[in-house]
Structure 1
């Protein structure tokens, strides 16, 4: 699933692909925003870990599950 994270005072958003379901991602984000976790911690498909201080989050956009595209045709 594609995740876009907006961070205060940062010119670009953080974009990553996660293997977690939408419900699991929502649970992690909610824990960070309610103050029970000081950091939003996510790991992408390649094993890279992203840590964002919870008080610096602007928004978190949970996108559609990614579908691998094959070929050159425009659909």
Structure 2
């Protein structure tokens, strides 16, 4: 699953690819819980097992999407 996080006052976004077995609802719930807590860090683990932390007060947006490999390519008629 692909996650894109916008960082406040930063022109770049953080893009992560989580493990294939990651549940979109569980990740959304973790983001919600971290934001509701107000202070602290949102921790996510990427496909390679690395842990990435984002300060909650700097999160501008979070976009959850399918894995890049699962996207369809081509044109539909």
TM range (shorter): 0.7 to 0.9
State the TM-score, normalizing by the size of structure 1. Answer: 0.81
* 2:10 matches 1:2: no
Give the unaligned 5+ runs of structure 1: none
- Deviation per CA, 1:3-48, whole angstroms, max 9, x where unpaired? 0000112220000111221011011101111017611100100112
Q: Is the 8 A contact 2:38 2:56 kept in 1?
A: no
Please give the root-mean-square deviation of Cα atoms over the aligned residues, in Å: 2.0
Alignment equivalent of 2:23, drawn from 5, 13, 21: 21
Q: 1:34 aligns with which of 33, 36, 45?
A: 36
How high is the TM-score relative to the length of structure 2? 0.79
Structure 2 stretches lacking a partner, 5+ long: none
Runs of at least 4 residues off by over 2 Å: 65-69
Give the paired residue count.
71
Of Structure 1 and Structure 2, which has the larger fraction of its residues in helix? 2
